[in-house]
Structure 1
Amino acid sequence: MGSRARARRAAAVLGFTGLLCAVLGAVMIVLVPTLIKQQVLKNVRIDPSSLSFNMWKEIPVPFYLSVYFFDIVNPDAILLGEKPQVQERGPYVYREFRHKSNITFNDNDTVSFLEYRSFQFQPDKSHGLESDYIVMPNILVLAAAMMMENKPMSLKLIMTLAFSTLGERAFMNRTVGEIMWGYEDPLIHLINKYLPNMFPFKGKFGLFAELNNSDSGLFTVFTGVKDFSRIHLVDKWNGLSKVSFWHSDQCNMINGTSGQMWAPFMTPETSLEFYSPEACRPVVRGPKHTRMLAFVLLSQLMEGFGLTFLGVNFSHRGARVSPCSHSLASIPQSGCWERRNKADAPLFLSHPHFYNADPVLAEAVLGLHPNQEEHSLFLDIHPVTGIPMNCSVKLQLSLYIKAIRGIGQTGKIQPVVLPLVWFEESGAMEGKPLQTFYTQLVLMPSVLHYAQYVLLALGCVLLLIPVIHQIRSQEKCYLFWSSSKKGSKDKEAIQAYSESLMTSAPKGTVLQEARL
């Protein structure tokens, strides 16, 4: 009796535990998605109490700027009208440091900030030193010559004389450090003195001179604290709701994010949109992969971007001209200065090696080898949080050159879009930031997600234990009752037989002797 009672109590305890697990699992199935969403929203909004705020403020991801130069192999032959030949040099790698300052929270659920960038050369990651010499077009001379194309001949002759006096030539041989961060050139002072609005820079000239220790403009973005539907979207840039650099209202819009974080809970159908100060326009691209939502960025901008400038149209071979074309494409260090429209420098952006552009551009220059693996760009975003995990943005800066009648330094240069440099900005979350991010925003939600189903399944299994125990107990009771009933009949028969033997025999009955 004791063992059966203990078994009944154990079965009851297990059944009660199973009921609790099943109820808890069912409740979690209903509530966990909401809890996960609330946890993610709490930690991805721009708020000092959120987990991602410090990541947003002081980006912990190590960013690198890798620069590749197109070294001119045959500068003298180009002046004689031959096809340019280039040799790619690099990469020259720089560690990029970013931090936000002047962070101001506004009353309309927005925050304003400036993000500064600085660069430090990494010799161990580079294929060369900043002291390496590179032969490349003299951007100042050739750009100035292009801008003088429709000027009076007398002015062109004066410029030719000035170039000769200053020792300026169509091609130059300078170090990587000078090309990157600037060099003194008397031509800059001369042009700024007599043609003050021709170039949008003063002092030293370098492709990345004003990018170092500078900001990309004042961004004002929505925090998502009060209105989650607009989280990370740009409200204004430099106080403007739209720019005026393009011939289309759509291209002049300032929308999307600032390119650092996106709204969480993305789907395979979610499109990626951000405002690029360097490109002076919003960029929109759809998803390529569904798991990490790897997006190919800027390809709409780059396919044909810069093919229409200074009245020169390269679309006769089937190239698609960007609807956001402008006479002045982006100089990397300049951003969208209000004064940049005063210059008509024939510079433009594209994919490296003219990947995804009209083949005529790559065919016009020897030494270019466009391919998707090396020259495409991507951004991997965690779909639940909208936080970038890995990125690689690659852009090329090119210069349109040709012989200008009246300016002797241009010789017999045939019209060509000549690549100058291409660069890659890349970064991947790793180390402690990745561990914190993974634990708080990936691992814990996953554990909760699977725990609800485990609890429900465990509860159902435990609930079966008392049911099975009850069924088995009923079978044992029935068997015991049946065997007890059959035994009582046998006892009654034996007792009747014994009583008959004990009863005395009637008169006249002869008892027979039993013989053994």
Structure 2
Amino acid sequence: MSDVDGDINRSREHVYGGRKHSNLSNLERNCNEMFAKGPALTKDFFEKIQNDVVPPKTDLFGYTMNTRRFILLTGLIILFTFSTIGTITMWFTEVYKKQINSLLVITDEAPTYEMWRSPTVKPYIKIYIFNYTNVERYEMRKDKKLHVEEIGPYVYYEKLERVNVRFNKVDGTVSYQEKRTYIFSPELSNGTKHDLVMVPNIPVLAGVSIAKHYNFFLRVSFSGFLSTLSVGAFIPLTVDQFVNGYEDNFYDWAKSYLKFHDMRVFEHFGLLVWKAGLQPDVITVNTGLHDISRRGQVEKFNGQTQIDLWGSDSCNSVQASDGIIYPLTALREKRDLTFYMPHMCRKLSLKFEKTSSILDSIPVHRYKLPLDTFDNEDKCYCTSGDGQCPPKGMFNATPCAFDAPLYYSWPHFYNGDPELRANISGLKDDFLMNDTYANIHPSLGVLVGGKIKFQVNIELQKSFGIGQLSAYPDRLMIPTVWMETGVEPSQLPIDFTTALYQITFTVKNIELGLKYGTLLATMVTLTCILLVLKKQRHNRSRASSHRRSIDYVH
């Protein structure tokens, strides 16, 4: 070492009593010592934990086991227990389905509430009008039959909104009123709203049917009043007037009669007027809160569980589906379904036909209305004064139509009594009803499409003293319109189809994942437990053999 280096080192160190003192600070020296001794300290710490806190051997029910193996076995047993519980829950109970069903409860807190309150699905209504082309010739007795010409369809879209919604959590129901708006679709219609048609004068025919119950002098007075107004059995109207309402002198006079008898009065008379706007009827349906199988079922109509129109309690009962939501249990078992039709004041039945699919992959249960729906096999719907039922294929809705002689049937009197065609020409003999159906989602229980057809008829009821109807036979059934209402799969809005896909596939895939995931976890953990126990048994056998060998040597 050079003299210079020695001088430098001596300048850094001072010797006092044979000890050297570095110029480094105490903090620096401590950090250096920690880094130097860290690995050794860590090793000593874990050895201390392993030897003192976690002993190398553990006694369990008289058996001695390696502690690490014991911890591993305990963890496997815990995993096996939870996976077994999950397997039993997913495979042998309805817990998962009940949890999913709870999300379907109608409540203002549900994510689907707005979709229920104001559906984005807008059903179409196709209106086919029977235009009478020879009324004057028939009344002059030049023609033996009235002739009709079917025109249309005139297509409208229906927008439904449930308003004045009130929930009752005590009995698990929700009450509301319906508000409907109808929007004409010229691009889908075969004709314009300004087309002129000759149609039955429904207010006059209804008034004549009511007047027949009066005495002769009142009927003659009524006939004179009709002559003053120059009205008859038929009236020329535009399509818009006939559908959306028109001003009529006779109907304006009839309003006083309706109000006096506490009947519902519309500003104008029209085919869809009685359904448009805010409806006065209060509908109460089950939310499914207490019983998911009753979700969407009508419990009360205007506060009553029964109406007082028909001949038995079963026919007067309003308790059925609301037509949109159906009971899941009945769907899974493919049982018959019923829904309540307010404008008919009755329930209609649906029968399972087949399992099908829409939008290429979404499964649905297809139901159909039986062909005998309007055949009045249930005698409680026979409401004529003489106790006789209407002809085959006709439903008498007079009690539901403010005593107007209104009847429903299939279009063109399909499957009805042949006598219904006796005085009407121009009706189709080969009308098909194969495309009338209802598609219902089996998991949601919601109507997701379909179509229904029905015909509205008015019965001409003669009475002595009213000369305006002298040219017509008594009880002539006059077809007025037939209507088709429904929703095609292509018309379903994107938010609705998204919900369908999520319920159909996402929820189902999660269920399958949980079912097979828990089952696989159970099998794997059980296998690992058996392997650990086998290893433990093998070690015990080796240890016992080793001890016997030592004893033998000694």
Q: Look up the match of 2:332.
A: 267
SS in 1 for 2:328: coil
Q: Give me the whole-angstrom Cα distance separating, in 1, the residues matched to 2:488 and 2:88.
A: 34
Amino acid at match of 1:438: L
1:171 to 230, 234, 240: 234
Q: 1:350 to 1:215 in 2, by over 3 A?
A: same
Q: Look up the match of 1:504.
A: none
Indicate conservation of the 8 Å contact 1:309/1:346, yes or no: no
Q: 1:72 to 1:314 in 2, by over 3 A?
A: farther
Q: Give me the whole-angstrom Cα distance separating, in 2, the residues matched to 1:290 and 1:302.
A: 26
Q: CA deviation at 1:185?
A: 1.5
Q: CA deviation at 1:37?
A: 0.8
Q: Look up the match of 1:226.
A: 290
Q: Give me the whole-angstrom Cα distance separating, in 1, the residues matched to 2:287 and 2:262.
A: 40
Amino acid at match of 1:293: H
Q: 1:152 to 1:126 in 2, by over 3 A?
A: same
Q: Give me the whole-angstrom Cα distance separating, in 2, the residues matched to 1:56 and 1:255.
A: 20
Taking the TM superposition and a 5 Å limit, the aligned residue runs for 1:65-464 are 65-79=125-139, 80=141, 82-106=144-168, 107-193=170-256, 196-197=260-261, 201=265, 203-215=267-279, 217-265=281-329, 266-291=331-356, 292-297=364-369, 301-304=373-376, 309=384, 311=386, 313=388, 319=392, 328=398, 330-331=400-401, 340=402, 344-369=403-428, 373-374=432-433, 377-401=436-460, 403-415=462-474, 416-428=476-488, 430-451=492-513
Q: Give me the whole-angstrom Cα distance separating, in 1, the residues matched to 2:419 and 2:205.
A: 22
Q: Give me the whole-angstrom Cα distance separating, in 2, the residues matched to 1:200 and 1:99.
A: 21
Q: Deviations over 1:247-305 (max 9, x none)?
A: 21111112112222122252253221222211112333331224522222475542349
Q: Look up the match of 1:37.
A: 97
Q: Look up the match of 1:470.
A: none
Q: Give me the whole-angstrom Cα distance separating, in 2, the residues matched to 1:312 and 1:70.
A: 30
Q: 1:392 to 1:370 in 2, by over 3 A?
A: farther
Q: 1:282 to 1:170 in 2, by over 3 A?
A: closer
Amino acid at match of 1:303: D
> How much identity, in percent, do the aligned residues show?
27
Question: Unaligned regions of 5+ residues in structure 1, if any?
Answer: 1-16, 332-339, 467-516
Amino acid at match of 2:338: E
Q: 1:453 to 1:146 in 2, by over 3 A?
A: closer
Q: Give me the whole-angstrom Cα distance separating, in 1, the residues matched to 2:393 and 2:389.
A: 9
Q: CA deviation at 1:76?
A: 2.2
TM-score by length of 1: 0.74
Q: 1:376 to 1:347 in 2, by over 3 A?
A: farther
Q: 1:68 to 1:75 in 2, by over 3 A?
A: same
CA RMSD of aligned residues (A): 3.7
SS in 2 for 1:180: helix
Indicate conservation of the 8 Å contact 1:330/1:348, yes or no: no
Q: Look up the match of 1:53.
A: 113
Q: CA deviation at 1:53?
A: 2.4
Amino acid at match of 1:393: I
Q: Give me the whole-angstrom Cα distance separating, in 2, the residues matched to 1:55 and 1:200.
A: 30
SS in 2 for 1:40: helix
Q: CA deviation at 1:366?
A: 1.5
Q: 1:216 to 1:124 in 2, by over 3 A?
A: farther
Q: Give me the whole-angstrom Cα distance separating, in 2, the residues matched to 1:308 and 1:356.
A: 21
Q: Give me the whole-angstrom Cα distance separating, in 2, the residues matched to 1:224 and 1:199.
A: 34
Q: Give me the whole-angstrom Cα distance separating, in 1, the residues matched to 2:332 and 2:98.
A: 18
SS in 1 for 2:146: coil
Q: CA deviation at 1:309?
A: 3.8
SS in 2 for 1:161: helix
Q: CA deviation at 1:362?
A: 3.8
Q: Deviations over 1:71-118 (max 9, x none)?
A: 012212432272221111111111111111111111221111112111
Amino acid at match of 2:466: I
Between stretches 183-192 and 123-132, larger displacement belongs to 183-192
SS in 1 for 2:308: coil
Q: Look up the match of 1:335.
A: none
- Higher relative CO (CA 8 A, sep ≥ 6), structure 1 or 2? 1
Q: Give me the whole-angstrom Cα distance separating, in 2, the residues matched to 1:176 and 1:164.
A: 25
Q: CA deviation at 1:448?
A: 3.3
Q: CA deviation at 1:456?
A: 8.9
SS in 2 for 1:141: helix
Q: Give me the whole-angstrom Cα distance separating, in 2, the residues matched to 1:243 and 1:353.
A: 30
Amino acid at match of 2:162: K
Between stretches 345-354 and 294-303, larger displacement belongs to 294-303
Q: Give me the whole-angstrom Cα distance separating, in 1, the residues matched to 2:438 and 2:370.
A: 11
Q: Give me the whole-angstrom Cα distance separating, in 2, the residues matched to 1:177 and 1:240.
A: 36
Q: Deviations over 1:476-505 (max 9, x none)?
A: xxxxxxxxxxxxxxxxxxxxxxxxxxxxxx
Q: Give me the whole-angstrom Cα distance separating, in 2, the residues matched to 1:431 and 1:312.
A: 48
Q: 1:387 to 1:40 in 2, by over 3 A?
A: farther
Question: Unaligned regions of 5+ residues in structure 2, if any?
Answer: 1-75, 357-363, 529-554
Q: 1:460 to 1:123 in 2, by over 3 A?
A: same
Q: 1:183 to 1:320 in 2, by over 3 A?
A: closer
SS in 2 for 1:294: strand
Q: CA deviation at 1:199?
A: 7.7
Q: CA deviation at 1:384?
A: 1.6
Q: 1:447 to 1:29 in 2, by over 3 A?
A: farther
Q: Deviations over 1:22-80 (max 9, x none)?
A: x9699558516746413431232102343432221111112112111000122124322
SS in 2 for 1:353: helix
